[in-house]
Amino acid sequence: MNADAVKPFFIYNTLSRKVEEFVPLHPGVVTYYSCGPTVYLPQHLGNMRSYLFTDTLKRALRLNGYEVRHVMNITDVGHMTSDQDAGEDKIEKTARAEGRSPKEVADYYTELFIHNLEMLRIEKPTVPPGQFCRATEHIPDMIALIQRILDRGYAYVVHSGVYFDVEKWRGPGRMGRLSRQSLEEQFAEQRLEHASDKRSKHDFALWVLNQPGHLMQWDSPWGRGYPGWHIECSAMSMKYLGETLDIHSGGLDHVPIHHENEIAQSESATGKPFVRYFVHNAFLVGMEGAKISKSSGRFPVLADLVAVGIDPIAFRLFCFGAKYRSELAFSLDAVRAAQRNLDYLTEFARGVPDGIAHGADSDWPQPYFERFHEALNNDLNTPQALAVVLDLVGESYRRNDKRIWNTLARMDTVLGVDFEGIRRRAASERLPAEIEALRAQRDEARKKKDFARSDALRNELLARGYEVKDTPAGTVVQRRN
């Protein structure tokens, strides 16, 4: 990493409630943990917005020359239906409903999640390389971390489990530092029943004991049981990234409970700051403002978009077109508008010949890249960055100069459309000579405003099995599937 070439990167830090310049703990390397899915149902589009944000942040950091060491978990045990300690394990609830084992449920929805990531061109974590950290594969790490918390006097063991002693962790800069809420406000938001043997209603479970009906259990120094949800993220992030992380991200709903508890248990164990920059994305909401979530019953998934003919990458552009900290109103019309932008970019990429793709750019596109880069470095302003990409392509058409390919490819390392793949596939689908002749004739007819001739040539192409689209670059012809 060339430190002299790096531009300042600014991001909103939930800890400080302000946009700050990002400076990693170790020059050139970013340690980044993002909360992953609980794999008990398909991930809805609100979930996928969060993972698209994670992907975009990671790509933007790489654009700035950083090596990003990224870890994401898979929660396959311990996440209760209340999001805290009460209720039923979400995976076990699905397992009972579907007549399958918890592992079968977790494996199925993990594979579905990974398939959705691939459809959206979301990159997998880099640590371990290309792998997700499954909670059930890190039980010894959780047990070891819980023991450290006990040894430092911030947890206690009773009949129902091992609990974090929140009352002991009270004080300036401790509980409530992230959410800016008092303990009573946090507890009221959770609306939980609590075990009668806890010292305080605020205490949360690190390890749950004496629940014979729970299907997933492991031996521990305190008895057979299973981990609490919060300890999983602390144990897995610290195992792979160290005791102090540069960035931790997740949805805004994680702030008052999950991430507050992660901070408490991690810092009580290590005596060190847990996270330097907490970054949170806002919700995807319906047109009437209601949060899209499984619990609310508002549950559209990626397959729903595909079923109505929308390319998954259109949803990627739809999310790119809004600031990550702003609520984004979902509707099919809004995603179809993003589809039109995708079609516009795709048709441009399809028309770039090998000679231009393998040659040097003109001089004029460079300021567009600078504007794109500056937008991303300004608290990840993706709407502005997307507008720059569209302006660049529009200017290319106006100048009749497609020598922008290298600039566009650099932008695509963050945008994630895969322009080069689109271009190569188009090159492999070259039209037969007679079809190409008809296409050229139709372009000439349109130029002369001979619409009768233009329509006749369209019908001729359709009769021969080819779809016809009119674009700013001219007639685009593709063989029907």
Q: Work out the average pLDDT over 40-48.
A: 94
- Tokens representing 419? 């322009």
Handedness of CA 234, 236, 237, 239 (dihedral sign): positive
Contacting residues for 185 by C-beta, under 8 A, at least 6 apart: 179, 256
Compute CA distances 346 → 136, 399, 473, whole Å.
42, 19, 12
Q: Would you call 281 helix, strand, or coil by DSSP?
A: strand
* Segments of the chain assigned to CATH 3.40.50.620: 3-281
Residue 477, H or E segment: strand 474-479
Instruction: Considering only residues 103 and 191, tell me which one the structure prediction assigns the higher pLDDT.
Output: 103
Residue 21, H or E segment: strand 18-21
Its pTM stands at: 0.86
Residue 212 neighbours by CB distance under 10 Å? 6
Compute CA distances 18 → 13, 14, 22, 144, whole Å.
6, 7, 12, 35
Say if residue 185's pLDDT is above 70: no
Winning range, highest mean pLDDT, from 117-121, 256-260, 290-294: 117-121
- Tokens representing 206? 């690190």
The position carrying tokens 């970019």 is 345
Residue 21 neighbours by CB distance under 10 Å? 10
* Segments of the chain assigned to CATH 1.20.120.640: 330-423
Instruction: Considering only residues 475 and 256, tell me which one the structure prediction assigns the higher pLDDT.
Output: 256
The band of 192, judged by pLDDT with boundaries at 50, 70 and 90, is: very low
In this structure, what DSSP letter does residue 291 have?
B
Superfamily (CATH H level) for 3-281: HUPs (3.40.50.620)
Q: Which amino acid is at 36?
A: G
In this structure, what DSSP letter does residue 254 have?
G
Mutual angle of helices 139-151 and 229-241, in 10-degree steps = 100
Q: Work out the average pLDDT over 276-300.
A: 79
Say if residue 191's pLDDT is above 50: no
CA dihedral 219, 221, 227, 228 (to 10 degrees): 150
Q: Work out the average pLDDT over 7-34.
A: 97
Identify whether the C-beta of residue 277 lies closer than 8 Å to the C-beta of residue 31. no
Given the candidates 1.10.15.40, 1.20.120.640, 1.10.3720.10, 3.30.70.940, the CATH classification of the domain at 330-423 is 1.20.120.640
Task: Report the alpha-carbon distance of residue 85 to residue 88 in Å, rounded.
Answer: 9
